[in-house]
Structure 1
Amino acid sequence: MKPTPADWPRLSSSLFYENANEAIAWLMEAFGFELRIKVDAEDGSVLHSELTYGEAVIMVSEGGAERAARFGTPLHSPKVLGGANTQSVMLYVDDVDAHCERARSCGATITAEPVLCDYGPEYWADRSYGALDCDGHLWWFSQRIRG
């Protein structure tokens, strides 16, 4: 395989929110993301953005009900879809318990409290929790306990 572009992981995710500007601020406060780039559309909405957490990159854009299809398909926030998720995002953090409390204090809905997920001595053990963000995207945050 050829190397990826500088500062890009091989895989990243795009997430769509009813109000991407508000979501970007929330993701930074609640989950600890940092803003790398934000491109505004003429109407003041977010055309494209890139948020980082360590080497991870997510892209955040508008996904309200009134948004036209892009890339040949409608791209919407879970809020527009009655809370439905077709994917979840997983991110490793250094201290999953502290991360969970930070997310909770910012209004994240904790769907699964931090718990040890032990896959046996031949695999690994992670301490993980699940959370819904401000628009209802499901996130999993994990801390490696045993490698």
Structure 2
Amino acid sequence: MALKNVDIFTDGACSGNPGPGGWGAILRYNGAEKEIHGGDAHTTNNRMELSAVIHALKLLKESCHVDLYSDSKYVCDAIQKGWALGWRRNGWRKSDKSPALNADLWEELLTLLERHQVAIHWVKGHAGHPENERCDQLAVLGAEEARARL
């Protein structure tokens, strides 16, 4: 059986780094769209970028072919260039032996990536890409909601 093709667009935002942050994602399958967002009262931008991808992938109920669009070089490069796999293989240490940041989220994301065929697409942030702009709005909303919970 052929895998379903799903497009996922993600973004993270943080007011201060660390500070209140949010994430947003759009999932698109067969003409249907779903928007999701969330946030954390004390976080970093990179954690929110990772959270957006994780939350979107967790919604997929079966293995899919995913085209993932993100403006985060941190997320895109760590997956495409194999850095995250190397960090895990080295006990969450980078090549210079320093601890890899966000190991908890990377572990969760790498496990989710194993279920799917994922093609990573970097998009320039704040450059008029409609889905990236919408994900940014969702991420800001998530950050505002997290700030309101303080």
Q: Which has the larger radius of gyration?
A: 1
TM-score, normalised relative to structure 2: 0.26
Structure with the larger strand share: 1
Kindly indicate which of the two structures has a greater share of residues assigned to helix: 2
